Amino acid sequence: MQQFTMMIDGQKITSEKTFEVINPALGLPFAKCAEGSPESVDMAVKSARKAFPEWSQSSQQSRIEKMLEIASLLEQNMPELMQLITQENGKPLNGYKGIGSGMEVGGSIAWTQATTSFSLPPKIIQDNDEAKIEVHRKPLGVVASITPWNWPLLIAIWHIMPALRTGNTVIVKPSPYTPLATIRFVELANTVLPPGVLNLVTGGADVGNAISSHPDINKIVFTGSTATGKQIMSLASGNLKRLTLELGGNDAGIVLPDVDVKKIADELFLSCFHNNGQTCACLKRLYVHESVYSDVCEALVKIAKSIVVGNGMVEGVEIGPLQNKAQLNKVIELTNDAIASGGKLLVGGKQREGEGYFFPPTIISDIADGVRLVDEEQFGPVLPIIKYSNVDEVIAIANKNQNGLGGSIWSSNIPLATELASKMETGSVWINEHGTVQPDAPFGGVKQSGIGVEFGTLGLEEYTSVQTIKTSRR
């Protein structure tokens, strides 16, 4: 069984305790990982703090060059990283419509490269005979990244690269469910970066709590559940840490009566079921106008029945297992509750017998708000489809949910869809697609879905503080 270590101050660090990493397609361990502790966090913070002055004062160009070297290393090691992601996360190497481990590593490369193109030059507020006023962006210090299990490498890249680009040093704590691809990435990056610039500590809640409360960490960027985000926010208050929190989503999609069902069906299904529904910005509750309700249900069921579910290492598999047993149990619980509450099971609905955490694409109709499957984030391959008759009323219903990450409008009338999009209380709204993100477009949630934004120059700003310099000329 392969052994993985932590990385602190440019060195691989072992520990007396280890934990096993489970392959969800088999339900069996396939690797062991060093288990960190609060003492490991202290070591990593000291290393990052020591490296900060030189790294923060290095030139923009030198940091860009090192980031591009890291992107090249990711590309050179792409097959290994893909296999690690598939083994620890379960997503197929290629996946449905190409959304799999290959896309995750490819996206990591592209995001690293794109982040080098963003910059935060000084802004001149005033420059006249009286004074010159400049606004500068300065790195915060030590940034801690706490990542989830659904996109383990890609989200680590989202957190780490803007931190490095702006001159911060970093400590990353991957999910104990999926630490391996991130460990390998940090090992590769440390062949390029100075010691202490990028550190990795593995472990569970005690490590996360030690990071959240550590007095010498200046910022935390976290992607995960709202409950955990609130706990991090509370612990981080001790030294007023900066926070970027991308939290739970229960994204609504609204299908208007003017759609061409055949034209949107594939994209609609992809929006709901890519990565097995285990994406914060998946479409998780679908509101369909009564005039096209039956046609939409029929089209999505037809696609669901054609999907190949299995071990992601096998060629041709489109959707893999749920990542962990707890998530599988939650999906089963919400599905059974929806059916008991009167929902009509159209396809799927039962765990596959045998090894692994497999659950097929499942669609439930004749359901409404107030049922747990609609009100809660299922984070799995189960879609509730809700019938509506009045557009204004359904917008209000969609907005009533406590989450506000993303939403979508599906229509052939783009001006109308754009008008309705502006009424959705979400950080992002897509028209005729859902959940697509890109490096230059800000992404973040409102309400219970988070604080702050990621990506582009606005995301880059979140890793900096503002310093105003005024030079008097009187």
Instruction: Tell me the C-alpha distance between 342 and 170, whole Å.
Output: 49
Active site positions, annotated: 246, 280
Instruction: Tell me the C-alpha distance between 97 and 266, whole Å.
Output: 9
Closest CA to 369 of 389, 341, 344, 347: 341
Instruction: Tell me the C-alpha distance between 93 and 319, whole Å.
Output: 10
